[in-house]
Structure 1
Amino acid sequence: MGDVLIKMFAAAVVTCALFPTPAQAAILAPTQASRSDDDAQEKLFTIKDPRIAESSGLAVSPTHPDVYYTHNDSGAGPVFYALGPNGRTKATFRLRGAESRDWEAMAATKDPKTGRGVLWFADIGDNMDGAWPDVSIYRVMEPTVLKDATLPAVRYRFRYSGGGRNAEGIMINPRTGRLYVVSKEFSGSVYIAPKQLRTSGINILRKVGDAPIMATDAAYAPDGSSYVIRTYFSATLYRPSGEMITRVSMPELHQAESIAYAPDGKALLTGSEGLNSPVYRVPIPSRARPVRASPSSTPSARPVADTAAADRGSGLTGRGLVIWIAAALGAVALITFIARRTR
């Protein structure tokens, strides 16, 4: 039985590499990511705190100017950090009533009724692609004072309608308040949460579209006019309908794990895991920036209605293609070695 499973897995790897699905074929297609006509990529700061060794989520404060939030990956506890514009930690916050199994993403929004900032932390990592019966996302009111503190958290539990997934991206549509989860897979997906989240029982995540291969983060623009999905190699902008706008070249990073919009929506911020990791500002090309909508325009509640457009939005750079092929060949070699040892 073990040999059969190994051979089946090997065949799947080879099939993905040689005969990709439409989404994967779009990824392998030679396309050129957009570069800004207005400005160049710039390093905003370097994260100085030695406790932040695996920065996995990034968000801009909705209420504190020049303040950025981040958190570590798994094994660091339910803790997040407020960083200043120089990359130094201004405050450390621990969540009460929260766990940290595998935190992979965060988002920041503003409560339209009170004007208070709201922070979301996603414990959605699952490297076994379905080992956990459910995943959790925590809602926290943004602290009004940037001073070390313990904050109460509201926990929402989720389950995917099609079975467990590994995921590393969440985003909140600021126009509708709707929460979305983006899975990290070779055939990734965008999932929508219920309009009304409940703290008792399980909230079901429904697939509404496809996502680029191995998505590591996602974010909605501050005005809700677009959203971005990050991969290890590039970032792709979409309209709320799911139509691709453009791809944006990203700086080469050790392990690109996070992305967010700048407060004015004219640039993207991206970070990486590792000690002394940098955070870059990457301008969005002028032609891809939002045009002010007319008063009669109606926002979309579903971010990915056109899944074909989402497929076309996936892409790798030439360097990414080399990595893809090398990974496939390496996987086949490893499988072959294991198969021989288990005969």
Structure 2
Amino acid sequence: MPPNPPHVPRPLALIALTVALALGCTAQPDTAADPDAPEARLSGVLLDMQMDEISGLAASHIHPGVLWMHDDGGNPARLFAVSTRGRRLATFGVEDVVKTDWEDMDAFEFQGKRYLLIADTGDNGGLRRTLQLHVVEEPTTLTNARLKPAWSIAFRWPDGARDCEAVAVDAERGEILLISKKREPPELFVLPLQPPDRELLTATRVGHLAGVPEPDPETLRRNPKRARLDGQVTAASVSPDRRTLAVMTYRYLLLYPRGAQQDWAGAVAGTPRTSVLPWLPQAEALGWSADGESLYATGEFIPAPLYRITP
């Protein structure tokens, strides 16, 4: 979330988007300009005011056609089960945690169980000395309930505070990936998924993201504030086959392929496949589908489109 976000009106374009969904319209890429552009289809629209300020998304691997989402800081500690059409199916309160600024989430399997990781890592002002990650078992029934963390991780950065809104899990490597938001180029950090018996961990910086688009001079001249935000990283997700890291910025989708012998630091040092996102009201939530064939993406503020993007 950008610092001190202004009030965002509910533009007529978004209302028209809801009508487009009812008529079965889809958002198509400009294939004439970019024949390799991902296809972005409108999957649904978020209209429920309880889900204003969505900042994290992960596809369920237990419930077909269900996405997990959470909202930003300033709201209760809760998770939403949402259909791929955008309808809220259930709400789960998360107990025994203090919600400061939840900014991303991921779903993963570990030691035979399905889990959801919640990243309380937002820090607009660069003031937080410690941050938290919470892991809960993925609910097996979609009925309003309360959850408690299976475990939590408290950590700090190695060299001072920074904002982080993009977190992903590679359970096979036992790693949590964290990407800084405002540093140029963005930094990649790792933490252990199953932490040692220590109260406070220090994230390890392992690399930087290559290929994040920079604003062109004309965009900087016309709208310098917007231009500087376009490349800031707001979400990340590792594909189910662990071959691709998807990274979202306010304007772009970047896909970093990983070779069989590469770690993620090596993958993000390479050239990503980059495309412009379909229009979103503050793009902040991204996650691979359970089958790994596409990505779901949405943004803050209601109403918001929910896209299914096929790379």
Instruction: Give the TM-score normalised by structure 2.
Output: 0.76
Return the letter of the residue paired with 1:181.
L
Deviations 1:145-187 (A, max 9, x none): 1111111112210111122110101001143131011111141
Alignment of 1:251-330 (within 5 A): 251-284=278-311
Correspondence for 2:168: 171
Which of these residues, 35, 38, 41, is aligned with residue 37 of structure 2? 35
Distance 2:171 2:118 in 1: 16
Correspondence for 2:120: 123
Distance 1:50-1:195 versus aligned 2 partners, 3 A rule: closer
Correspondence for 2:60: 61
Deviations 1:242-276 (A, max 9, x none): 22341133101110001111222222211100012
Alignment of 1:40-55 (within 5 A): 40-55=39-54
Instruction: Report the aligned-residue RMSD.
Output: 1.8
Q: Is 2:192 the counterpart of 1:194?
A: yes
Return the letter of the residue paired with 1:256.
A
Return the letter of the residue paired with 1:279.
L
Structure 2 residue runs of 5 or longer lacking an equivalent are: 1-32, 213-230, 259-265
Alignment of 1:15-164 (within 5 A): 34-36=36-38, 40-111=39-110, 113-114=111-112, 116-129=113-126, 131-153=127-149, 154-164=151-161
Distance 2:247 2:43 in 1: 20
Structure 1 residue runs of 5 or longer lacking an equivalent are: 1-30, 285-343
CA contact (8 A) 1:109 1:119 kept: yes
SS of 2:296's equivalent in the other structure is: strand
Moved over 3 A (4+): 31-34
Distance 1:185 1:216 in 2: 10
Deviation of 1:127 (Å): 0.8
Deviates more, 1:223-232 or 1:198-207: 198-207
CA contact (8 A) 1:174 1:222 kept: no
SS of 2:50's equivalent in the other structure is: coil
SS of 2:155's equivalent in the other structure is: strand
CA contact (8 A) 1:229 1:237 kept: yes
Deviates more, 1:233-242 or 1:120-129: 233-242
Structure with greater strand percent: 2
Deviates more, 1:171-180 or 1:70-79: 171-180
| Matched positions, count | 248
Structure with greater helix percent: 1
Distance 2:108 2:58 in 1: 9
Distance 1:171 1:274 in 2: 23
SS of 1:125's equivalent in the other structure is: coil
Distance 1:138-1:199 versus aligned 2 partners, 3 A rule: farther
Distance 1:248-1:103 versus aligned 2 partners, 3 A rule: same
